[in-house]
Amino acid sequence: MFILLDENLLSRKLKRPLIEAGHDVQNVDDMGWRGSKDKQLLNLAEAKPFDVFVTADRNLIHQQNLQDLSIRIVVLSAKSTRPDVLLPLIFQVCDLLETLQVGTVTIIDENEK
């Protein structure tokens, strides 16, 4: 799958498990999209086309109209965006990727296993 990691997920440590699982992974910095507003970023991601957009922005689902998207969105819900906190959630993303349906939003919460 072609995966885009949001601005809050720039650490190489977070890319590594996805790459090792055989996915093509870029982040917004790699794409030159750093600083883009959420709506613009989602449009760019769909146009590229990315298959999955992974973010730690829990407000995204409340601030954007996500209906009719052709991309899968994964929201990481954690107390911090530090790579050591998010890394276990990225491993959960790896396990779920093949089951995600187009146009869906999946929330992975650090408090749920």
Q: Could you state, in order of their start, the residue ranges of all structural domains in the chain?
A: 2-109
Residue 10, C-beta contacts closer than 8 angstroms, at least 6 positions apart? 27, 28, 29
pLDDT for 113 equals 63
Whether the CB-CB separation of 53 and 74 falls below 8 Å is answered with: yes
pLDDT greater at residue 110 or residue 113: 110
For the segment 27-64, what is each residue's pLDDT rounded down to a tens digit?
999 999 999 998 899 999 999 999 999 999 888 877 77
Specify the 3-state DSSP secondary structure of 101.
coil
pLDDT (0 to 100) of residue 56:
93
Residues 4-30, mean pLDDT to the nearest whole number: 94
CA triple 54-60-64, angle to 5 deg: 120
CA contacts within 13 A on the Cβ side of 104: 10
Quick one: pLDDT at residue 59?
83
Q: What is the pLDDT of residues 54-111, one digit of tens each?
A: 999 888 877 776 777 889 999 999 999 999 999 999 999 999 999 999 888 899 999 8
State whether CATH 3.40.50 applies to domain 2-109. yes
Could you tell me the CA-to-CA distances from 85 to 13, 19, 71, 92 in Å, in that order?
11, 19, 25, 13
